[in-house]
Structure 1
């Protein structure tokens, strides 16, 4: 399958997902398998969790659109799933849920040798992230933060 057809398929699936209040997170085609496998990862646009029933219900319109598009001229297996649980904190909900948990903060400081900080998630505002490092609160501007993920603290 060429890149143009993959791009067309992805655009088609994004459109279908949007109609169902979903967002297409990723599309992966395993063309080395027979039949090929189409892996679709979705999430709800309103932030709610994806259930197994959501994946099952979404399967039918996706299958119908793929068949009607004539982009694939072979048999395939369709796998629809959610993102699952990620260690990375991205949403406001994540920051509220995991307040007090150990986090690893990857930094983008050009003039510093420090690239990672470990501590307990203390606070998140629109401008900064605060973590508790051995009893001291460190405020880090979000302009310096690349990634925040759950971890286990190391002494």
Structure 2
């Protein structure tokens, strides 16, 4: 499949997804396999989790549209999936869900040698992030935080 047809396929699937309050966040074609594999990664536009049922309900209309488009003249396998869980914490929901979990905080401190802190996620406010480092609560202003990720704690 050439690049132009892949773009057409992606645009077509985006319309199908949009009608179901979904969006396409990844399209991968494995043309080296026989039959070829079309992997579509979807997410809900409102940010809710994707369920197995959501993937199954998207499969048939996506397949129907691919067939009607005549963009593929070969057999294929269609795989629908979600993005899964990211290690990076970004939403308010992430911070509530993973309170008490080990995190790695990447810092943006220009005048400090410390670039990373590890601890247990304690609290997030609009101004700071608090983590528990060996029983002591450290409050880090958000203007000093570059990234917050789930991790495993090391002694």
TM category, shorter:
0.7 to 0.9
**What is the CA deviation profile of residues 115-134 of structure 1, one whole-angstrom value per residue up to 9, with x for unaligned ones?**
32211112223343222223
Q: CA RMSD in A?
A: 2.1
Aligned to 1:18: 18
TM-score (norm 1): 0.85
Aligned to 2:62: 62
Say whether residues 1:39 and 2:67 are aligned partners: no
**What is the CA deviation profile of residues 35-84 of structure 1, one whole-angstrom value per residue up to 9, with x for unaligned ones?**
11011111222233222121111101111111222222221100001222
Structure 2 runs not aligned, ≥5 long: none
CA distance in 1, matches of 2:9, 2:108: 35
TM-score (norm 2): 0.85
Structure 1 runs not aligned, ≥5 long: none
Decide whether aligned partners of structure 1 residues 31 and 109 sit closer, same or farther in structure 2, where only a CA change above 3 A counts: farther
Tell me the number of residue pairs that the alignment of Structure 1 and Structure 2 aligns.
Answer: 155
Aligned to 2:74: 74
Decide whether aligned partners of structure 1 residues 117 and 53 sit closer, same or farther in structure 2, where only a CA change above 3 A counts: same
My pick for the range that moved more, 122-131 or 19-28, is 122-131
Matches within 5 A, 1:6-155: 6-109=6-109, 112-155=112-155
Aligned-pair distance for 1:144?
4.2
- SS of the residue 1:119 aligns to: strand
My pick for the range that moved more, 142-151 or 71-80, is 142-151
